[in-house]
Amino acid sequence: MALCFAVLSTTVFKLTNAVCESFNKSWVEFELCRLRAVSRHKVYLNLNVTLHQPINDIHIKGQLMKKENGYKPWLYSVSFNGCQFIRRRNNPLIKLVWDLFKEYSTLNHTCPYVTGLVFKMTNAVCESRNKSWVIVETCRLHALQRNKTVLNLMVNFLHPTNYISMRMQVMKKANGYKPWIFDITFDACKFMKDKSNKAAKVVFDLFKDFSTVNHSCPYVTGLVFKMTNAVCESHNKSWVIIETCRLRALQRNKTILNLYLNVLHPTNSVSIRLQIQKKFNGYKPWIFDTTFDACKFMKDKSNKAVKVIFDLIKEYSSLDHPCPYVGQQYLRGFYPAIDKLRLPLPTGDYLLLMTWKFYNRIQLETNVYFTFVEDF
């Protein structure tokens, strides 16, 4: 008789309960302390705390207990200065616990802590006074949390704009909205060059990371600069494997390219033939057809024609370093930004061809098709 059996070992690390209590509600209030089941063995903790006054001195007692006829002390019980730990992270025991939740928390900064502040948008009203030039497509707030809203504002400029004068006012509500702090008028195109107006810069610094206006004039959104197809081929799969070469549509006139290559051997000699062709009864040569030493270019960036293309892709790419190249290389989430284009293009359909040679042998081709529309 034979007896066969299998032992399956599964580790479960799961939150089962959360209890939070404030002993001084004039200083600390719990808005939320709740677990949420996501799957059978996966539970989230959502903990929102409001601090009504700044805190510069925090002492914490951390204990780990184990259930055995009730919960009994186990492993460690430690007291520490929270503000000091956040500055130095020198307590290895506390760091074990801290590393579990730091990426989910708002605590990852030095003291003081205070959340009694609320800076929240409550309404947004946008109006175009000339719809033959400016169309407001979206002007809407979206609530994310009780005290957090986001603004989505999309404006279409139908003609290039090289002169923008802006009046900016901050008003405060007191029996209606009344002037408060400043009321200024400034040349926005000049400001985008030198950022010298301090009052305007205070407001600009709040939204520049979320905006497409962080470039010099002209402004125009009647332009379309959109990739329409991408074709990649490896001619030597013992050296280069194309893992992904795909476009993904984000909006009507915006697509992104994800290109992942695996270079199986170190490469210190890379030659690239770069061509731009324009569609006219088929794709025909246009502007330039150049071959360059990519390893040399990555050292000095001296080829101006190549730099036009490289400046479009470098922030999305893993290629921005000197040779050798080996392992996974990528172009991730790339889209052609109009404000970075330093090449005059008439309206039309184009093809960017790149033929890659390693040690004078063709290894792969990457061909990207795109549309450019000056005004519509």
The CATH number linked to 323 is 2.70.220.10
Instruction: Answer yes or no: is 341 within a domain.
Output: yes
* pLDDT of the residue at 247: 94
Q: What is the pLDDT of residue 223?
A: 67
Tell me what pLDDT residue 115 has.
Answer: 67
Asked if residue 8 has pLDDT above 80, the reply is no
More confident residue, 331 or 287: 331
Same domain, 282 and 329: yes
Domain of residue 229 covers 224-373
Residue 355 in this model has a pLDDT that exceeds 80: yes
pLDDT at 37 over 70: yes
The rounded distance, in Å, linking the Cα atoms of 365 and 363 is 7
CA 194, CA 213: separation in Å to the nearest integer?
Answer: 14
Determine the pLDDT at residue 221: 62
pLDDT for 103 beyond 90:
no
The verdict on 236 and 365 lying in the same domain is: yes
Instruction: Confirm whether 296 is domain-assigned.
Output: yes
Question: Do 180 and 294 fall within a single domain?
Answer: no
Asked if the structure places residue 126 within a domain, the reply is no
Instruction: Note whether 238 and 353 are same-domain residues.
Output: yes
Lowest mean pLDDT, pick from 130-134, 170-174, 240-244, 350-354? 130-134
> In terms of Cα–Cα distance, which of 304, 342, 298 is closest to 317?
298
279 close to 348: Cβ distance less than 8 angstroms: yes
Most confident of 161-165, 192-196, 282-286, 359-363: 359-363
Q: Is residue 164 part of a domain?
A: yes
Q: Using alpha carbons only, what angle is made at residue 44 by residues 39 and 50, rounded to the nearest 5 degrees?
A: 160
Is the per-residue pLDDT at 272 higher than 90? yes
On whether both 305 and 176 belong to a single domain, the answer is: no
Q: Are residues 315 and 184 in the same domain?
A: no
Round to whole Å and give the CA distance between 2 and 258.
Answer: 54
Q: Do 273 and 322 share a structural domain?
A: yes
At residue 273, does pLDDT exceed 90?
yes
* Residue 274 included in any domain: yes
Distance CA 111, CA 87 (A): 9
Q: What is the pLDDT of residues 39-49, one digit of tens each?
A: 777 888 988 88
Is 270 a residue whose pLDDT tops 70?
yes
pLDDT for residue 7 is more than 60: no
Task: Looking at the structure, tell me whether residues 286 and 359 fall in a common domain.
Answer: yes
pLDDT per position as a tens digit, 234-266: 999 999 999 999 999 887 778 899 999 999 999
Residue identified by tokens 């905006």 is 211
pLDDT given at position 5: 42
How many Å apart are CA 177 and CA 179, to the nearest integer? 7
- What is the rounded average pLDDT of the residues 347-373? 93
- Specify the pLDDT at position 342: 66
The pLDDT, as a whole number, for residue 148 is 82
The chain-wide mean pLDDT, for the chain, equals 86
Q: Average of pLDDT values for 120-125?
A: 93
Residue 84's closest CA among 113, 57, 104, 105? 57
Whether the predicted pLDDT of 331 surpasses 80: yes
The reply to whether 117 falls in a domain is no
Residue 253 CA to residue 206 CA, distance in Å, equals 27
pLDDT of 291: 94
27 close to 56: Cβ distance less than 8 angstroms: no
Q: What percent of the chain has pLDDT over 70?
A: 93
Those residues whose C-beta lies under 8 Å from the C-beta of residue 227, and which sit 6 or more positions away, are 247, 255, 256, 257, 335, 336, 368, 369, 370
User: What is the structure's pLDDT at 101?
Assistant: 84
Quick one: 205 and 163 in the same domain? yes
60 pLDDT exceeds 60?
Answer: yes
Is residue 359 domain-shared with residue 230, that is, in the same domain? yes
In this structure, is residue 360 part of a structural domain? yes
**244 & 325 share domain:** yes
Q: Which two tokens mark 32?
A: 């939320």
pLDDT single digits (tens) 188-202: 999 999 998 888 998
- pLDDT band at 347; cut points 50, 70, 90: confident
| Domain annotation covers residue 284 | yes
What does the pLDDT read at residue 190? 92
Do 260 and 349 lie in a common domain? yes
pLDDT at 375 > cutoff 80: no
Domain total for the chain? Answer: 3
pLDDT at 344 over 80: no
Summarize the chain as % helix, strand, coil (round to 5): 15, 50, 35
How many Å apart are CA 309 and CA 149, to the nearest integer? 38
pLDDT score of 166: 94
Is a pLDDT exceeding 80 seen at residue 102? Answer: yes
Amino acid making up residue 280: F
